[in-house]
C-alpha cells in the first residue's frame, strides 16, 4: 500500500504547519511552522493560556509590548517542537512604515534571544509592500531572516528576491478567491488554478535566475492546490488539510523541480516601477490591502483582550 500523501509530500517538499496550535504540530511533525495575527489570536484564546496571558499583559509596558510578548512566547513553545524555522509577524499596522518595521523586527529577535531561541530559527514576517521589502533588505544584511508575506503577484516576488529575502509566501487560495469572485463560471480546477499558476511562475523565475530565496506556497483552499505544487521548496498547510493529506492514499507526483540557473536576473525594479506594476494588477492590489486589513482586525481583537487583562 502506498504511503499517505503527507508522507510522500514530505519526501520532496519541506512541510510547514500553518498554525499556532501545539497539539497539531505534535501530531503532524512539520519541519517549520508559521504564525500570523489571526493564528496568534486563536492560540491565545485556547484553554489553559488565560493565566499566562494575564501575567504577560500585566507585566507589559504597553499593548505593543504585550502583543509581542504573547507572539514570542507562543513562537518559543513552537520552536521546541519543530527543528526548523518559526515565522512571527511584525504588526500589520507597520505595513507602510519601514523604520517601524525595522525596530519591531529587531525587538522580536531580541525577545526570542531572551527565550533562548537563536536568530537562525526565526523568520520575521513582513508584508510585501514596498516599505516592507525595503525593511527586509536591511534586516537580511543584519542577519535577520525574513518571510515576505501577503504576496499576490510576480512583481512582489521579484522585488522580494532582489532584496535578498530568505523566503516568500505567495497566497495561493486568496488569489483563487479573487478570480472566483470575478469569474464564477470559470474552471479553476487543477492546473487552471490561478494561485497555483502564480507560484509556479515565481518558482521557475527564482530558480532559473539563481536566487536563493525560498518559495513557500501558502493559504490553500483545497488539497488539490497542494498536490499541484508538490516539489515546491516549502508549503505551509492548515491543520485541516494536513489531516486530509495524512488520511489520503495514492501516488503523489512531483510537479516542481529545481532548475539550474540559466540566465542572469533582470535589473531590480525601482520604486516607481514596482508601484506601477502592482497598481496594474487589480487582484494583487486589492488582496494585499484586504489582507493587511484582515490581519489588523484580528490584531485589534487580541489588543482588546490583552487590554482587558491589563486592567483586570
**For residue 240, what pLDDT is reported?**
97
Residue 50 is predicted with a pLDDT of 86
Average pLDDT on 168-197 reads 97
Over residues 188-206, the pLDDT tens digits come to 998 999 999 999 999 999 9
CATH superfamily of 5-310: Aldolase class I (3.20.20.70)
Catalytic residue among 10, 125, 287, 294: 125
Per-residue pLDDT, 261: 66
Return the minimum-mean-pLDDT range out of 85-89, 175-179, 267-271. Answer: 267-271
Mean pLDDT of 274-285: 98
- Which residues make beta-bridge pairs with 216? 234
Candidate from 31-40, 142-151, 155-164 with smallest mean pLDDT: 31-40
**Separation CA 286–CA 181 (nearest Å):** 12
Q: How far apart are CA 85 and CA 95, in angstroms?
A: 22
Per residue in 49-103, pLDDT (tens digit) is 889 989 999 999 999 999 999 999 999 999 999 999 999 999 999 999 999 999 9
Residue 1 has pLDDT above 70, yes or no: no
Q: What is the arithmetic mean of pLDDT over 198-219?
A: 96
* Residues in contact with 78: Cβ distance below 8 Å, sequence separation at least 6, in sequence order: 20, 22, 25, 33, 35, 86
Q: Which of 38-42, 80-84, 115-119, 264-268 has the lowest mean pLDDT?
A: 264-268
What is the distance between the alpha carbons of residues 229 and 115, in angstroms, rounded to a whole number?
A: 35
How large is the average pLDDT for residues 115-131? 98
Q: What's residue 266's pLDDT?
A: 83
Is residue 169 scored above 60 in pLDDT?
yes
The full set of domain ranges for the chain reads 5-310
Active site residue 125: yes
pLDDT tens for 227-249 read 999 999 999 999 999 999 999 99
Mean pLDDT over residues 137-147, rounded?
98
Q: Could you tell me which of 148, 72, 154, 61 has the C-alpha nearest to residue 109?
A: 72
Q: Please give the pLDDT value at position 256.
A: 96
Instruction: In whole angstroms, give the CA distance from residue 69 to residue 63.
Output: 10
User: Which residues are within 8 A (CB) of 290 and not within 5 positions of it... i.e. 6 or more apart?
Assistant: none
To the question of pTM greater than 0.85 for the whole model, the response is yes
Q: Sign of dihedral through CA atoms 183, 231, 201, 286?
A: positive
Amino acid at each position: 500500500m502506498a504511503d499517505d500523501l503527507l508522507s510522500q509530500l514530505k519526501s520532496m517538499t519541506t512541510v510547514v504547519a500553518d498554525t499556532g496550535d501545539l497539539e497539531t504540530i505534535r501530531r503532524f511533525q512539520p519541519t517549520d511552522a508559521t504564525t500570523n495575527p489571526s493564528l496568534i489570536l486563536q492560540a491565545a484564546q485556547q484553554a489553559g493560556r488565560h493565566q499566562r496571558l494575564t501575567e504577560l499583559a500585566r507585566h507589559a509596558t504597553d499593548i505593543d509590548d504585550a502583543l509581542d510578548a504573547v507572539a514570542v512566547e507562543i513562537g518559543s513553545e513552537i520552536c521546541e517542537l519543530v527543528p526548523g524555522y518559526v515565522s512571527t509577524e511584525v504588526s500589520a499596522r507597520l505595513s507602510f512604515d519601514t523604520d517601524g518595521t525595522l525596530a519591531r523586527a529587531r525587538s522580536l529577535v531580541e525577545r526570542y534571544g531572551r527565550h533562548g531561541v537563536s536568530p537562525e530559527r526565526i523568520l520575521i514576517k513582513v508584508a510585501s509592500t514596498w516599505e516592507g521589502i525595503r525593511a527586509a533588505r536591511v534586516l537580511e544584511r543584519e542577519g535577520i531572516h525574513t518571510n515576505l508575506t501577503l504576496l499576490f503577484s510576480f512583481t512582489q516576488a521579484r522585488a522580494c528576491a532582489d532584496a535578498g529575502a530568505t523566503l516568500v509566501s505567495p497566497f495561493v487560495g486568496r488569489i483563487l478567491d479573487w478570480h472566483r469572485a470575478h469569474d464564477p463560471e470559470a474552471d479553476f480546477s487543477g492546473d487552471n488554478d490561478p494561485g497555483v499558476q502564480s507560484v509556479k511562475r515565481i518558482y521557475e523565475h527564482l530558480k532559473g535566475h539563481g536566487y536563493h530565496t525560498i518559495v513557500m506556497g501558502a493559504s490553500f483552499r483545497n488539497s488539490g492546490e497542494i498536490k499541484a505544487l508538490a516539489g515546491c521548496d516549502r508549503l505551509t498547510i492548515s491543520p485541516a488539510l494536513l489531516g486530509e493529506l495524512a488520511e489520503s492514499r495514492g501516488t503523489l507526483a512531483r510537479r516542481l523541480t529545481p532548475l539550474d540557473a540559466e540566465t542572469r536576473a533582470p535589473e531590480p525594479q525601482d520604486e516607481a516601477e514596482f508601484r506601477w506594476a502592482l497598481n496594474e494588477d487589480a487582484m494583487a492590489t486589492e488582496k494585499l490591502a484586504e489582507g493587511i486589513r484582515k490581519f489588523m482586525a484580528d490584531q485589534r481583537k487580541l489588543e482588546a483582550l490583552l487590554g482587558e487583562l491589563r486592567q483586570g
